[in-house]
Amino acid sequence: RAGERARRYAFTAQFLVADVARLPFPDRSFDVVAVHDGLHHLEDPLRAVEEMARVARQGVLILEPARAALTRLAVRLGIAREVEEAGNSVRRLSPGEIASGLRELGFDRVVWRRTVMYYAHEPGAWFRWFDRTPLFLLFRAVFWSVNLALGRWGNKLALAATRVTA
């Protein structure tokens, strides 16, 4: 699918299928290595983070579901799942564990924050309708306020790590 999208938008890219625990690139091959919502499906997400750090010259960016009390509550209430509809397990990550691991791997500056995020693969017709109503602006304001108040306990992690000496 990625290749189809690249062609559709006239984007030049080279695609490679590889084992994330053993990437076929020399150390520090890329300026920045990023992942968005992929690590939490792996058996050993921390091993993948180590490999990302190995091939990154200056930085690592991670956007992933985080381990959070709000998520555990949502799972108990049946709002969230430990296993997705497609059968993928979801391993929510510990921000502190990732941050300390990246520091041990030579990243001088590691910053992260959490936000509250509602995950839904298909928004559904009701949401597409709602998105076009004035009520959506109110919803966004409430969601922003919730993040302001509860974000530090949120279920979405944004983490950036940089090396001063690349």
**pLDDT tens string 131-166:** 788 888 887 787 777 767 766 777 788 999 999 875
- What is the residue extent of each domain of the chain? 27-162
**pLDDT tens string 104-128:** 999 999 999 888 776 665 556 766 7
| d(C-alpha 164, C-alpha 57), whole Å | 10
Instruction: For residue 160, list its beta bridge partners.
Output: 61, 111
| d(C-alpha 9, C-alpha 69), whole Å | 40
**pLDDT tens string 63-100:** 988 877 777 777 787 767 776 666 667 777 888 999 99
Phi and psi at residue 162, in whole multiples of 5°? -130, 155
Residue 102 in 3-state DSSP?
helix
Query: Which CATH class, in words, describes the domain spanning 27-162?
Result: alpha beta
Asked whether residue 22 carries a pLDDT value surpassing 90, the answer given is yes
pLDDT on residue 59: 97
* Torsion 136-139-144-145 (CA) sign: positive
**What are the C-alpha distances in Å from 158 to residues 14, 18, 88, 93?**
26, 24, 22, 11
Record the pTM: 0.77
